[in-house]
Amino acid sequence: MKNNLIGFLILITVCGLWNCQPKQSEEIKQPNILFIAIDDLNDWVGALEGHPQVKTPNIDRLAAKGILFTNAHTQSPLCNPSRASIMTGIRPSTSGIYNLSPHFRDVSLTRDAVTLPQYFQQHGYKTLSNGKIFHSLGNTPDKRTDFEEWGPIGGGTAGHPPAKLVGDTHMGNHPLLDWGVYPAEGDSVRNDYKVATWAEEKLGQLAQSDDEKPFFMAVGFWLPHVPLFATQKWFDLYPEEADIVLPPAPEDERVDVPDFAWYLHWYLPEVRLSWLKANNQWPNIVRSYLATISFTDAQVGRVLDALEANGLADNTLIVLWSDHGFHLGEKGITGKNTLWERSTHVPLIFSGPGIPEGVKTNKPAELLDIYPTLVDWVGLPEKDGLEGISLVPQIKDVNAPRERPAITTHNPGNNSVRSEHWRYIRYANGAEELYDHRSDPHEHRNLAGDPSMKTVIADHAKWIRPSDAPHAPGSQHRVLEQVDGAWFWEGNPIKWEELIR
């Protein structure tokens, strides 16, 4: 006992001289961030049950290890405005960025915005990126300030076959409007494969680095964006003889849809369902979309495996998202550019230290919420000016109340409001749609004209602003605007008799 007492007194004395407190870095170690973006992926993910035949084992295992927001929606059904909103934390209806141009650094409201990775860099994170994160990288050095390190690939598919696999398509025969088996022996020639390889290598380097900084790594995959090319092995997952399940698209499903809905996708490279049927391409494009999803899922799996193999998984927060959805014949069209579920509904998963595992919530979520959620979860100072709401309350308790529904905007004045059970749409001319997702998940019956729905409509309409910001200067591509009382699509007057159905 006497010896123990002497040892204890010596320990107290030594600690008093040398301050035996654990270092701050040992007490609080902020998690790394792995930020995975996928382009044009709708809810055809196994965990979301969007298509009965889809095979996404890696995204599904990520969902099983974290929380899946089953009712997550984009702020815009188009790449540039969606990604600008996610990265700046500002709505399209505030910034005026609704179209494929301009770059957000060319818009006065967002020119000096501190983007999500920049904010983490300001608070001690090492930031690096490869693949498609922003819609475009920007053509000047001042537009490439968001990451400390940029990988060599900004997006794209890394080449096309010598001739289009599906031949000429209507509405412009755009080179991106193609799908089918890519004529190559292996996947290593594809850009998304190269992005995953870069991520594997970087994660290995970060694990061996003496730099104590946590990292924010953004990894962006292009597919299943058109062209829908994948090598034969991915098509073999969906053999033609398996009778590919086509999405529900009744002939009359636009009978009760306002005519103005056509204005949002008046004339686009993306083909109509009528063209797919006439050219016997509907099963082929659905199969191609499924194959490219599975290819992308495999690349996600490679990144997740590298995170685990390098001992980084236990201290890395992962967020996986898609910028918007994609139609494969629903409502008579393909592509995005709508305010319906198929175009707005996206995967959103958070996984990592402290995140509950295998949890799902149907509370509405917005991609706009990613920025404040990551800031909140990591414990950084609250960022002023963000228009999203942290999802941390729902991560901690799936039944926690949500302050508002999810709002999607496509060109000024066209808005969708998605709550737990309803979707309400109001177009710029005042036309309306309302769908009850409990009984009509595919949005085939418009209830907006039902007098008994007035209260439901009012409850949702209150979330739509009296007016949206006008188009930002330099807006181009898929621009819908009213000039002197007439509606114009990409600078040309809309003439109903010229509609391509």
CATH of the domain at 206: 3.40.720.10
Per-residue pLDDT tens over the stretch 265-291: 999 999 999 999 999 999 999 999 999
Percent residues over pLDDT 90 in the chain: 88
Both tokens of 495, joined, read 């003439």
From 156-160, 241-245, 362-366, the region with the lowest mean pLDDT: 156-160
Catalytic residue among 73, 103, 135, 460: 135
CB 283 within 8 A of CB 364: no
Burial class for 2, CB neighbours closer than 10 Å (0-12, 13-18, 19+): exposed
CB 43 within 8 A of CB 345: yes
The residue range of the domain holding 397 is: 27-409
Of 119, 122, 124, nearest in space to 28 by CA: 124
Q: Name the 3-class secondary structure at 128.
A: strand
Q: Is 444 assigned a catalytic role?
A: no
Catalytic residue among 79, 103, 345, 410: 79
Burial class for 44, CB neighbours closer than 10 Å (0-12, 13-18, 19+): buried
CB 75 within 8 A of CB 85: yes
**Is 77 within a domain?**
yes
Close Cβ partners of 184 (under 8 Å, ≥ 6 residues apart): 190, 231
| Number of structural domains found in the chain | 1
Per-residue pLDDT tens over the stretch 167-225: 999 999 999 999 999 998 889 999 999 999 999 999 999 999 988 999 999 999 999 99
Confidence of residue 27 (pLDDT cuts 50, 70, 90): very low
Q: Which residue has the tokens 């496509």?
A: 410
**Is 496 within a domain?**
no
Distance (Å, whole) CA 379 – CA 376: 5
Q: Which residue has the tokens 């031949």?
A: 167
Q: Which residue has the tokens 């298509």?
A: 51
Distance (Å, whole) CA 158 – CA 408: 31
Distance (Å, whole) CA 3 – CA 238: 75
Q: Is 170 assigned a catalytic role?
A: no
Quickly count helices (H) and strands (E) in the chain. 14, 22
**Is 349 within a domain?**
yes
**Is 187 within a domain?**
yes
**Is 17 within a domain?**
no
Both tokens of 359, joined, read 């949890």
Q: Distance from CA of residue 364 to its chain's centroid?
A: 15
The confidence score (pLDDT) of residue 138 equals 66
**Is 403 within a domain?**
yes
Distance (Å, whole) CA 132 – CA 181: 23
**Is 436 within a domain?**
no
CB 273 within 8 A of CB 332: yes
Reported pTM: 0.93
Residue 138: CB atoms within 10 A of its CB come to 17
Distance (Å, whole) CA 393 – CA 360: 13
Percent residues over pLDDT 70 in the chain: 94
**Is 437 within a domain?**
no
